[in-house]
Structure 1
């Protein structure tokens, strides 16, 4: 552990120049006294360190000295591929390895390139998780990742949305995917290759059995196909709508101009479309299917009653309403 810390201290000084003992202690998460001992150890090993006393002082390397201790360990190399997602690296237990890998990569760059790397880090940020959602609890993520690395089978106890809600099965974990802040385990099992949400894994037991990935399996290609199939399964129906220009804009439909636009859009289900289309208020009229139109009309009547506007307020039979007028019903 100390050897790793000494290398990190050396790389910090090489990349950043003069640093105080307090700054080094904060970076290394040790005491200032430990930093002084480490600096002495590096000096005794022949590293040309120079210490400046006083308020503006600190430790630095003699100008022109560059270490060649920039080879990446296995963990650091893995972490380097997650450099754009430090949160994901930390969840996989590679946070410290990622920090060290970055230092080594910077140390290996020609003198002018670290400045470009700093500008990128200052001006671009990738924030993968979605808005307003609490982070999923993923206590089994590290064990799942270990099984993926080692190509070892696991037994999952898993919670799903349909009956039976809890299942247990042996699977062979092929890979992990981070999608919109949520982790998924892609694994082969008795029902073929499936995706399991890590936060829905109730228990994970690693086995000693090693496995071989199916010939031709590619994680990126599989995930793309899985997403396409999921979208196709979601949109099982269609609705005929009339939309104001604002309604068309909010639904991403090309508007016919200043008047109403008629459009057919895919829907997941009557229940889902009912909630989604109500959000558009008077900027939408559902023409078909009849079941969806009647459901929305009934909701509008119920709202009118609740707010004291009368049982038929804003709801009248007949042709579609004009822009800005209440939705008509049947």
Structure 2
């Protein structure tokens, strides 16, 4: 819509300063001719917008001119307040800053959009951590975040899972990621991924590092997760699932992709498994709703467990261990 595009031009010039018609056209994905018409419309509406000719020219707003956020749609206002997760912001030491920013944005909104934003805040709450797990203690999170922002090198003592467990690490922190309630720092050289809660000691150096210009945190994290799952689920199991029984995660996706119905109503599928131990425990939770066909060692192990359970619970009267 033209009105939304005009607001976008104002906000772009307000945040970036001088921009050429070609730059605005590329940003808005329209023609240069359309930008010329939009600029004329803004000028006719009284917006103090000026065009400078020459190689270093472009459009700019009169110094000191600021537009209110009246160009936000209802959906954009709702998304803005829904995206402000107070928990992670507080962990980063930005809780008061987030609250102040939301207050200022709310004050700048027209009454009808303010009502939309208030309704979202009252009806939706984002809580990232999972159930049945204590919150991870991350005493160095704020310091790591500061080092990410200021491009400062970190000297840490880090606890890993294999021996030797406690090792010294020099990190060039490129970015922070919050995944399922747990904070990770992506750091060079490498880059590599570290859990912030496993940092035992930390010193922020005065030495700065240069963050690679082509590093994309979101793209890195997507690739990292994909590689993690590829390394995690290296085995396979052939199973039969009773009607109505569902697997979750990669196993559930595999059932959707290759599962086939059998005459008795069960579904047969080949699913990825992390390890025999993990598959044994996961499949046992489904009780009689699943039958493991392959690999033989997994089927035999589950059979032994079921036999032991049957023997233990075979007596109708509990022995109480006596």
Match of residue 148 from structure 1: 148
> Which deviates more from structure 2 when the two are superposed, residues 90-99 or residues 121-130?
121-130
Q: Tell me the CA shift for residue 111 of structure 1.
A: 3.7
Kindly name which structure, 1 or 2, has the bigger radius of gyration based on alpha carbons: 1
> Which deviates more from structure 2 when the two are superposed, residues 201-210 or residues 118-127?
118-127
Match of residue 166 from structure 1: 166
Q: Tell me the CA shift for residue 101 of structure 1.
A: 1.0
Match of residue 308 from structure 2: 302
Match of 2:197 among 191, 195, 199: 199
Match of residue 180 from structure 1: 180
Give structure 1 stretches of 5+ with no counterpart: 1-67, 71-79, 311-330
Q: For 1:144 and 1:290, locate their aligned partners in 2 and report how far apart those are by CA, in whole Å.
A: 48
Q: Secondary structure at the match of 1:161?
A: coil
Answer yes or no: is the 8 Å Cα contact 1:151–1:210 preserved in 2. Answer: yes
2:288 is the alignment partner of 1:290 = no
Q: Tell me the CA shift for residue 83 of structure 1.
A: 5.0
Q: Secondary structure at the match of 2:214?
A: coil
Match of residue 242 from structure 2: 244
Q: Secondary structure at the match of 2:291?
A: strand
Match of residue 281 from structure 1: 287
Superposed CA offset, 1:25-63 (max 9, x none): xxxxxxxxxxxxxxxxxxxxxxxxxxxxxxxxxxxxxxx
Normalising by the residue count of structure 2, what TM-score does the alignment of the two structures yield? 0.67
Q: For 1:249 and 1:239, locate their aligned partners in 2 and report how far apart those are by CA, in whole Å.
A: 13
Q: For 1:224 and 1:209, locate their aligned partners in 2 and report how far apart those are by CA, in whole Å.
A: 30
Answer yes or no: is the 8 Å Cα contact 2:153–2:170 preserved in 1. Answer: yes
Answer yes or no: is the 8 Å Cα contact 2:81–2:102 preserved in 1. Answer: no
Match of residue 132 from structure 1: 132
> Which deviates more from structure 2 when the two are superposed, residues 271-280 or residues 238-247?
238-247
Q: For 2:108 and 2:99, locate their aligned partners in 1 and report how far apart those are by CA, in whole Å.
A: 15
Answer yes or no: is the 8 Å Cα contact 1:82–1:89 preserved in 2. Answer: no
Q: For 1:140 and 1:150, locate their aligned partners in 2 and report how far apart those are by CA, in whole Å.
A: 15
Match of residue 217 from structure 2: 219
- 283 and 232 in structure 1: CA distance in 2 versus 1, 3 angstrom threshold: same
Q: Tell me the CA shift for residue 302 of structure 1.
A: 1.2
Counting only pairs closer than 5 Å after superposition, residues 19-38 of structure 1 correspond to structure 2 as: none
2:236 is the alignment partner of 1:230 = no
Q: For 1:256 and 1:249, locate their aligned partners in 2 and report how far apart those are by CA, in whole Å.
A: 15
Q: Tell me the CA shift for residue 260 of structure 1.
A: 2.4
Q: For 1:140 and 1:151, locate their aligned partners in 2 and report how far apart those are by CA, in whole Å.
A: 16
Q: Tell me the CA shift for residue 214 of structure 1.
A: 1.6
Q: Secondary structure at the match of 1:246?
A: coil
Give structure 2 stretches of 5+ with no counterpart: 1-65, 69-79, 317-322
> Which deviates more from structure 2 when the two are superposed, residues 222-231 or residues 104-113?
104-113
Q: Secondary structure at the match of 2:244?
A: helix
Match of residue 256 from structure 1: 261
Aligned residues: 232
Answer yes or no: is the 8 Å Cα contact 1:245–1:255 preserved in 2. Answer: no
Q: Secondary structure at the match of 2:128?
A: coil
Match of 1:266 among 256, 272, 276: 272
Q: Secondary structure at the match of 1:271?
A: helix
Q: For 2:81 and 2:155, locate their aligned partners in 1 and report how far apart those are by CA, in whole Å.
A: 28
Alignment root-mean-square deviation, CA: 2.4
Q: Secondary structure at the match of 2:279?
A: helix
